[in-house]
Amino acid sequence: MTAETAPAETSAPALTQRVGRAVGRAGILIPVVIVFVILSVISPPFLRFGNLTNILDQQAGIIIVACAGTFVLIAGGIDLSIGAIYGLSGAVALQTASSVSPVAGVFAGLAVGLAVGLANGVIVTQFRINPLIGTLAMTFVVSGIAAIVTKGNLVVALDHLDFQSFAATDILGLDSAAWIMIVVAVLAAILLSRTTFGRYVYATGGNIQAARLGGVRVNAVRVATFALSGTAAALAGTLDASRVLSAQASSGQFLTFTVLTGIIVGGTSILGGEGTIGRTVLGCLFVALIANGFNLLGLDPFYQQVTLGVILLLAVGVDAWSRRFE
């Protein structure tokens, strides 16, 4: 926010309000810092440059999907099909890259995600199917198609190193995937906070009836958020297929959960109308730090699942609880 110099806004209540809102805005930053400090103290390898860049490289796909998913949630929807889209588009991209060309592979992967995202949007807005159920059903449809496309096998193309350069080119110590993630996050943040589209997304999720009467084409907005989400899931699937030069229909089965946890822990409300890209990125990093900590400390990964599940419940609970006071 730019500085406000109007005298009315520097009066005492406005000031406390600002401080309150600043603390509220910090929200997820506080636990992220706490976990960061704890890990730095108890696990010396944590602070190594290699470990930190490794976290970013590994989180690239998740953060990309989460940034787009934030739009869906703010607009009042939810997209459970992102994991399935991730799996299908990775497989399609890799097969196209090995049979046609790496560039065609990238575009084929993205086109799959865009198409499924648009289908999700139409299902939710035109057929008026609850997004939770609509995208859950699409998860099965898309996963099934992915299993058909891959014939149920692991697709490998280990000799296509040119395709690997899409995700794994080292630039200033970070993979190109991580740089793409940074670019996506910055663009998403600008789109959400600075454009008319971003405003309409908040309005649609905040009060759909008011947005409609205010002249916002709410269905177009909702379709666009699902299209963004599908395309982002495809980008993540394509990047990860490129990185390891292999793809599998079921590879995204935990992605949906991880992404939604990151978004919601970041403070975006599942009820819509609220959230920012910055918070989502921090939320995803928080989840990643917990996971990294479990690895570094050599803890059982099953406990990691339990922990993340509890964290998701806590985040949703805190959101519901904080809304009671309005």
Partner 1 sequence: MAGLTSAPFATDDSAMQGDAAVHLETRGLGKSFGATRALDDVSVAIRQGTVHAFVGENGAGKSTLGKIIAGVFPQDQGDLVMRGTTVSFGSPREALVRGIALVAQEVALVPRLTVAENVFLGAEPRRAGFIDRGSLRERFDRLVADAGFDLRAGAVVGHLPLAKQQQVEILRALAREADLIVLDEPSTSLSAKEVESLHDVVRGLRTRGRTVILVSHFLNEVLELSDEVTVLRDGRVVRSNPISGETENSLVTGMLGRPISRAYPEKQPPATDAPIVLAIEGLSAPGVQDATLTLRAGEIVGLAGLIGAGRSELAHAIYGAAPARTGGIQVAGNALPGRPAASIEAGVALIPESRKDDGLILRRPIRENVSLTSLKRFQRMGFVRRGAERSEVRDALARVTGSALLEAPAGSLSGGNQQKLLFARALLIRPEVLLADEPTRGIDVGAKRDIYEVLVRLAADGMAILLISNEVEEILGLAHRVLVMRAGRLVAELSGPDMTEEAIVNAAFGTTSTSAA
Instruction: Give the binding site for partner 1 (CB under 8 A).
Output: 1-2, 4, 6, 8-9, 14, 17, 194-197, 199-200, 202-203, 206-207, 209-217, 273-274, 326
- Dihedral angle of Cα 106, 285, 172, 235, to the nearest 10 degrees: 0
Which residue, 147 or 316, has its beta carbon nearer to partner 1?
316
Which residue, 121 or 205, has its beta carbon nearer to partner 1?
205
Which residue, 16 or 165, has its beta carbon nearer to partner 1?
16
Pairing of strands 246-247, 170-171: unpaired
Bridge partners (DSSP) listed for residue 247: 155
Rounded to a whole number of angstroms, the minimum distance from the CB of residue 238 to partner 1 is 26
CB 224 within 8 A of CB 197: yes
Rounded to a whole number of angstroms, the minimum distance from the CB of residue 71 to partner 1 is 15
Rounded to a whole number of angstroms, the minimum distance from the CB of residue 144 to partner 1 is 34
* Whole-number Å distance between alpha carbons of 69 and 88: 18
Which residue, 8 or 172, has its beta carbon nearer to partner 1?
8
Length of the chain in terms of residues written: 326
Which residue, 300 or 326, has its beta carbon nearer to partner 1?
326
Q: Which of 258, 267, 288 is nearest to 73 (CA)?
A: 267
Rounded to a whole number of angstroms, the minimum distance from the CB of residue 261 to partner 1 is 23
Rounded to a whole number of angstroms, the minimum distance from the CB of residue 56 to partner 1 is 29
Which residue, 244 or 318, has its beta carbon nearer to partner 1?
318
Question: What would the two tokens of residue 217 be?
Answer: 């084409």
* Whole-number Å distance between alpha carbons of 219 and 232: 20
**How many CB atoms are located within 10 Å of the residue 81 CB?**
31
Which residue, 107 or 197, has its beta carbon nearer to partner 1?
197
Rounded to a whole number of angstroms, the minimum distance from the CB of residue 213 to partner 1 is 6
CB 142 within 8 A of CB 241: no
Rounded to a whole number of angstroms, the minimum distance from the CB of residue 189 to partner 1 is 13
Sign, CA torsion 21/25/31/36:
negative
Which residue, 149 or 318, has its beta carbon nearer to partner 1?
318
Q: Write the Ramachandran bin of 29: left for phi over 0, alpha for psi from -120 to 50, otherwise beta.
A: alpha
End-to-end CA distance of the chain: 23
Bridge partners (DSSP) listed for residue 155: 247
Which residue, 152 or 214, has its beta carbon nearer to partner 1?
214
Q: Which helix (H) or strand (E) holds 175?
A: strand 174-175
Q: What are phi and psi of 216, to 5 degrees?
A: -80, 135
Q: What are phi and psi of 191, to 5 degrees?
A: -60, -40
Rounded to a whole number of angstroms, the minimum distance from the CB of residue 195 to partner 1 is 5
Rounded to a whole number of angstroms, the minimum distance from the CB of residue 209 to partner 1 is 5
